[in-house]
């Protein structure tokens, strides 16, 4: 790409254009050297490990999240240098982790989600298609069943009955309509 070659036309790359374009931009400034490549991998891997630790701390006690980070993240996430899965063959690995973790950090069930959060999740999943073809679609797959379960699968999308747990509480005059 530094010699004017077009990605997917003159240069083969089995993943999406986002990660390689990001590295090409950095390499243009810092030089296309092994040190630059390993430095970018290390910085992106550190960012993804931090994001994963933050995600764990949202659902677990800080001490448990720290323990999981040390026991599970440190052996697998540092690039280069992870004793398990420390692949340095492609820049897409840490970029894909960052994008998938961003989607998880943004995720809330649709009923509890704001409009900007929905747009942000859609944007992150769209970017994930540009990092590697497929993960964005796979991450969208659970959204439909989760939404259906939240609304009540037994009603097939029908509005909740006045006695269902999803219906609004009765008003002061005893009616179950809007207040």
Domain locations along the chain:
17-155
The answer to whether the beta carbons of residues 73 and 124 sit under 8 Å apart is: no
pLDDT attached to residue 179: 45
Q: How far is CA 39 from the centre of its chain?
A: 22
Q: How far, in Å, CA of 107 to CA of 129, rounded?
A: 17
Q: Give the CA-trace dihedral at 11, 17, 18, 19, to 10 degrees.
A: -40
Return d(Cα 21, Cα 27) in angstroms, integer.
Answer: 10
- Which tokens hold the place of 58? 């949202």
Q: How confident is the model at residue 94 (pLDDT cuts 50, 70, 90)?
A: confident
pLDDT tens track for 2-59? 667 777 677 777 788 888 889 989 999 999 999 999 899 889 888 888 898 888 888 8
Strand partners, 7: 11
Taking all residues of the chain, what is their mean pLDDT, rounded to a whole number?
Answer: 76
């Amino acid at each position: 790409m530094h010699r004017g070659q077009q990605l997917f036309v003159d240069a083969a790359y089995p993943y999406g254009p986002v990660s390689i374009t990001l590295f090409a931009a950095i390499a243009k400034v810092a030089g296309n050297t092994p040190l630059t490549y390993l430095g970018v991998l290390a910085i992106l891997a550190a960012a993804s490990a931090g994001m994963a630790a933050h995600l764990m701390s949202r659902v677990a006690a800080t001490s448990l999240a720290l323990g999981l980070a040390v026991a599970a993240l440190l052996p697998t996430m540092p690039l280069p240098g992870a004793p398990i899965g420390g692949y340095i063959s492609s820049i897409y690995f840490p970029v894909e982790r960052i994008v998938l973790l961003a989607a998880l950090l943004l995720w809330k069930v649709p009923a509890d989600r704001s409009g900007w959060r929905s747009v942000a999740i859609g944007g992150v999943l769209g970017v994930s298609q540009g990092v590697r073809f497929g993960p964005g679609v796979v991450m969208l797959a659970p959204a439909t069943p989760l939404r259906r379960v939240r609304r009540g699968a037994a009603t097939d999308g029908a509005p909740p009955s006045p006695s269902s747990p999803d219906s609004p509480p009765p008003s002061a005059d005893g009616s179950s309509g809007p207040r």
